[in-house]
Structure 1
Amino acid sequence: MDDSSTAQRIAKSAAAATPPAMARQIRGLSDRAIAWLFVTPTIILLLAINIFPLIWTVYLSFTNYRANRLNREVEWIGLRNYERVLTDTDIWHTLQVTAHFVGWTMFFQVIIGFGLAWLINKQFRGHSFWTTLILLPMMLSPAVVGNFWTFLYQPQIGLFNYIVAFFAGIEPSSFQMIGDVNLAPWAIVIVDTWMWTPYVMLICLAGLRSIPDYIYEAAEVDRASKWRQFWSITVPMVLPFLMLAVLFRVIENFKMFDLVVELTSGGPGSVTELASINLKREAFEKWRTGYSSAFAIILFVTVFGVANIYVKALNKVKQR
């Protein structure tokens, strides 16, 4: 039996299985209409999951609503919640802690990530094995990483403390990384850097391998030194990839929650209390729902505005 006969039989079977009215309706629709017919349920679901909560949060930010007092009459208080947030010293302290965390993690991840990508791009013997090994931390759950590093930071049995104590010449029990007010912020920076530097490395590696070989060959013909090639070819062509990695990581670090909660729970005191942790406490421990909604909107507008400016700068770099 030839292929044309088989195709005709399949078409007849499909036509017989489709109700005549539905078949006429489908035949009367254009390809674009059929595409919208399948896409529309997904769009509605996404709007219900993302847009409605955002609109509801904006509404609550203008009220004195408290989720633990459902019988209380909701009062419209205008911009009072926003005024309280912007004049709250605790909020500004939280933002300062968040800025310290985001700034230093980005600094270390960019430097180490780009360095690792540059080394692996040399394609030395066994580079595939080392690439896979380096990528392992970012494949783990943040909660697992937090628990893992909590044991490493333990004063009595923590391996990290023993290593630092050995080089510093002090007793391991006297050194507390996550229990010290001055060291705890650096503890979460170290863990986040260990976990997410491979992500930056991977994007930088993609950028390095996208550079055509003939550009380096032309530079060698012009007798450009390796240092000159690095600053005039490698860095400019990898910079858009690096900026994209920084954008993704900054947005994620502004939302960082589970890793820090497992490590320090925002302590000791409030030295590692990031904006996300403070927001959770205001909303679900103090039950200041309207106040926390205003804080959430301020964070959203801040991150969105900074990201928008950053994307414009990224587009200018890509057009060079």
Structure 2
Amino acid sequence: MTHTPVERASGVPPKPLARRIRGLSDRSIAWIFVAPTILLLLAVNIFPLIWTIRLSFTDYRVNRPNRDVEWVGLANYERILTDPTIWKTMQATAHFLLWTIVLQVVIGFALAFLINKKFRGNDLWTTIIVLPMMLSPAVVGNFWTFLYQPQIGLFNYVVAFFTGADPASFSMIADVNLAPWAIVIADTWMWTPFVMLICLAGLRSIPDSIYEAAECDRASKWRQFWTITVPMALPFLMLAVLFRGIENFKMFDLVVQLTGGGPGNTTTLTSIDLKREAFEKWRTGYSSAYAVILFVTVFGLASIYVKALNKVKER
């Protein structure tokens, strides 16, 4: 069937094609638009995951592609779960996760509560507080490395004063006991503004009429805080914990920039340990099993947490 130049220039679909499109249901048209995205996600996300699971049952080494690959079954998983070094790494990761989340949520909520009160210079202070999260982890790592250096590091002088150490030779990132806390402080400084913004959104979603009704009932500010503010902002707090927990579980660049996993592997998190196994020791099959265990751990904990979050939202 031929079409007039006007039809071709206007971009109007040919009549048979237009009839076929009109004959499709809304669901079919939706699938036509969504299908390319689903195929792309399958190619980018699902296939690498399936391939990683397959490699986790082998002794494959990517630096030896011509080597015969042996199927080892669950041997890699057994070695990982019975390795005391990996359990120490898990413990260091749990320590980092716990204290960064606690500090960021407490400080972030406190800042959001203060910013939510209208005062002069509110917008300026909000912008200043948000600045750290706009920086790259590499820049933040270099900045805090400078602060932790002997003689010039502000934190070194403060900690050395309380511990009785010599400020000229003392450094937090070189101390076995204080290096994990040095990372916690740097990460808290960088990502507390992110938690603050989420909490601020929660606080500003609370209707003023609820507080007005509470004042009519002569409820004190303290009682309003615990019976209105905290319960209604709790879903946002839990959302912030979820985001920061997932991100900090895979923390890598900031730790490498500050301590490199030391001293004495005290700041070696699971992400750093996984990188060493995969790209320094080239134990691809072993590191694939390691990655699968971490994925199942994060996915399982996140699923349980999301169910708890949904229950809180339903109240």
TM-score tier, shorter chain, comes to: over 0.9
In the TM superposition, residue 38 of structure 1 has moved relative to its aligned partner by: 2.9
1:230, 1:240 → 2: CA distance? 15
Q: Quick one: which amino acid aligns to residue 269 of structure 1?
A: G
Task: Give unmatched runs, 5+ long, in structure 2.
Answer: 1-5
Please give the residue correspondences for 1:81-120 in structure 2 after superposition, counting only pairs within 5 Å: 81-120=76-115
Query: 4+ runs of 1 displaced by more than 6 Å?
Result: 166-169
| 1:36 maps to which of 31, 36, 52 | 31
Matched, 1:56 2:44: no
Q: Is the 8 A contact 2:151 2:169 kept in 1?
A: no
CA shift digits 1:125-163 (9 cap, x unpaired)? 111110111111111111111111111111133343345
Q: Quick one: which amino acid aligns to residue 104 of structure 2?
A: Q
In the TM superposition, residue 277 of structure 1 has moved relative to its aligned partner by: 0.2
Which residue of the partner structure matches residue 283 of structure 1? 278
Q: Quick one: which amino acid aligns to residue 218 of structure 1?
A: A
Which residue of the partner structure matches residue 14 of structure 1? 10
In the TM superposition, residue 314 of structure 1 has moved relative to its aligned partner by: 1.0
| 1:173 maps to which of 128, 150, 168 | 168
Give the match's secondary structure for 1:174: coil
Which residue of the partner structure matches residue 254 of structure 2? 259
Which residue of the partner structure matches residue 61 of structure 2? 66
Please give the residue correspondences for 1:135-154 in structure 2 after superposition, counting only pairs within 5 Å: 135-154=130-149
Q: Quick one: which amino acid aligns to residue 106 of structure 1?
A: I
2:30, 2:311 → 1: CA distance? 35
Q: Quick one: which amino acid aligns to residue 82 of structure 1?
A: Y
User: Structure 1 pair 138/11, CA: closer, same or farther in 2 (3 Å)?
Assistant: farther
Q: Is the 8 A contact 1:62 1:78 kept in 2?
A: yes
Which residue of the partner structure matches residue 305 of structure 1? 300
1:248, 1:82 → 2: CA distance? 28
Give the match's secondary structure for 1:98: helix
1:204, 1:11 → 2: CA distance? 55
1:168, 1:90 → 2: CA distance? 30
Moved more, 151-160 or 283-292: 151-160
| 1:125 maps to which of 115, 120, 126 | 120
In the TM superposition, residue 33 of structure 1 has moved relative to its aligned partner by: 3.2
Task: Among all aligned residue pairs of Structure 1 and Structure 2, give the percentage whose two residues are the same amino acid.
Answer: 77
1:161, 1:297 → 2: CA distance? 39
2:115, 2:297 → 1: CA distance? 36
Q: Quick one: which amino acid aligns to residue 14 of structure 1?
A: S
In the TM superposition, residue 172 of structure 1 has moved relative to its aligned partner by: 2.4
Q: Is the 8 A contact 1:15 1:23 kept in 2?
A: no
1:21, 1:222 → 2: CA distance? 70
What is the number of equivalent residue pairs in this alignment? Answer: 311
Q: Is the 8 A contact 2:108 2:196 kept in 1?
A: yes
Q: Quick one: which amino acid aligns to residue 98 of structure 1?
A: T
Matched, 1:194 2:189: yes
1:32, 1:77 → 2: CA distance? 46
Q: Quick one: which amino acid aligns to residue 227 of structure 1?
A: W
Matched, 1:157 2:152: yes
In the TM superposition, residue 11 of structure 1 has moved relative to its aligned partner by: 7.7
Q: Quick one: which amino acid aligns to residue 58 of structure 2?
A: T
Moved more, 139-148 or 88-97: 139-148
Give the match's secondary structure for 2:120: coil
Q: Is the 8 A contact 2:261 2:267 kept in 1?
A: yes
1:145, 1:11 → 2: CA distance? 59
1:252, 1:112 → 2: CA distance? 18
2:146, 2:10 → 1: CA distance? 62
In the TM superposition, residue 222 of structure 1 has moved relative to its aligned partner by: 0.9
Matched, 1:77 2:80: no
Q: Is the 8 A contact 1:113 1:197 kept in 2?
A: yes
In the TM superposition, residue 165 of structure 1 has moved relative to its aligned partner by: 4.8
CA shift digits 1:155-195 (9 cap, x unpaired)? 13334334555677764223211111111000000000000
For the aligned residue pairs, the C-alpha RMSD in angstroms reads: 2.1
User: Structure 1 pair 73/184, CA: closer, same or farther in 2 (3 Å)?
Assistant: same
User: Structure 1 pair 269/170, CA: closer, same or farther in 2 (3 Å)?
Assistant: closer
Moved more, 213-222 or 158-167: 158-167
The alignment's TM-score, normalised by the length of structure 2, stands at 0.92
CA shift digits 1:76-132 (9 cap, x unpaired)? 111111000000011001000000000000110111011000000101111111011
Q: Is the 8 A contact 1:61 1:81 kept in 2?
A: yes
User: Structure 1 pair 32/152, CA: closer, same or farther in 2 (3 Å)?
Assistant: same
